């Protein structure tokens, strides 16, 4: 398809597509002439990925670059792509990181998940926990642990979804996009669950 059709299919304007091309976020189409190139379904997938990361994930251009590079030259395991994606996403949300908190790091180690060295995410967790505690939400370790188990159940679904993909490339795309786009699904479900749980306790 031509770039104008790619714009129609993806809902992203031509001038934005040209910007993605210049930035190297979208791979060039197959040249048909000096001024015309042909784009396929892989370009459409890529445009949707970039748009989702920028618009809904709040990921900056540098973060999208890192994710796109990892997808273009896949590391040996999808596990590493997850690390790259998390790093980029964390970089996008963490502007004013205070000192990391030893208590929270020890809590993560006690979980026994082997993830206490995932520095940027542990720090993201520590920031969030400290903010909640400073505002008067006690969040003792027992509560945190139960929250962690709930999110582990959600993560099982995340990884199964990726496992059902038809190719490694698709699996990685689903993991990256799912990290960004399933967050709001989970938060909406949390609010519904609070309402249900509150009604059940009256």
Q: Which parts of 13-52 interact with a copy of itself (CB under 8 A)?
A: 45, 48-49, 51-52
d(CA 167, CA 173): 10
Least CB distance from residue 103 to a copy of itself, whole Å?
A: 14
Question: Smallest gap, in angstroms, from Cβ of residue 196 to a copy of itself?
Answer: 4
CB 85 within 8 Å of CB 70: yes
Footprint of a copy of itself on 51-90 (CB under 8 A): 51-52, 56, 77-79, 82-83, 86, 89-90
Strands (E), 5-158: 30-31, 37-38
* Near a copy of itself by CB under 8 A: residue from 2, 66, 129, 141: 129
| Nearest approach, Cβ of residue 14 and a copy of itself (Å) | 20
Maximum Cα–Cα distance across the chain? 70
Identify which of residues 37 and 91 has a Cβ nearer to a copy of itself in the complex: 91
Interatomic CA distance for residues 132 and 32, integer angstroms: 57
In this structure, how many other beta carbons lie within 10 angstroms of the beta carbon of residue 171? 19
Q: Under the phi-then-psi rule, with left for phi > 0, alpha for psi from -120 to 50, and beta for the rest, what region is 152?
A: alpha
**Phi and psi (nearest 5°) for 37?**
-135, 160
- Of the candidates 31, 113, 119, 168, which one interacts with a copy of itself according to CB under 8 A? 113
Which CB sits closer to a copy of itself, 37 or 60?
60
Residues 139-198 that bind a copy of itself (CB under 8 A): 139, 143-144, 146-161, 163, 173-175, 177-179, 181-198
Size of the site for a copy of itself (CB under 8 A): 81
How many Cβ atoms sit within 10 Å of the Cβ of residue 143? Answer: 11
Cα of first residue to Cα of last residue in the chain, in angstroms, is: 58
Is residue 97 part of the contact set for a copy of itself (CB under 8 A)?
A: no
Shortest spacing between CB 191 and a copy of itself, in angstroms: 5
Shortest distance (Å) from residue 62 CB to a copy of itself: 19
């Amino acid at each position: 398809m031509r770039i104008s059709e790619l714009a129609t299919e993806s809902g992203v304007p031509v001038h934005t597509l040209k910007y993605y091309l210049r930035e190297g976020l979208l791979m060039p189409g197959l040249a048909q002439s000096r001024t015309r190139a042909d784009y396929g379904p892989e370009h459409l997938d890529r445009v949707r990925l970039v748009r989702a990361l920028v618009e809904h994930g709040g990921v900056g251009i540098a973060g999208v670059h890192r994710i796109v590079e990892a997808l273009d030259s896949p590391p040996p395991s999808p596990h590493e792509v997850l690390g790259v994606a998390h790093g980029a996403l964390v970089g996008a949300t963490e502007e004013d990181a205070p000192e990391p908190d030893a208590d929270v790091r020890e809590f993560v180690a006690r979980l026994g998940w082997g993830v206490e060295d995932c520095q940027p995410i542990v720090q993201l967790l520590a920031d969030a926990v400290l903010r909640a505690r400073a505002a008067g939400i006690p969040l003792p370790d027992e509560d945190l642990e139960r929250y962690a188990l709930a999110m582990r159940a959600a993560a099982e679904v995340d990884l199964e979804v990726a496992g059902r993909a038809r190719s490694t490339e698709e699996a990685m795309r689903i993991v990256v996009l799912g990290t960004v786009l399933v967050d709001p699904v989970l938060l909406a479900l949390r609010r519904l669950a609070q309402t249900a749980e509150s009604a059940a306790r009256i």
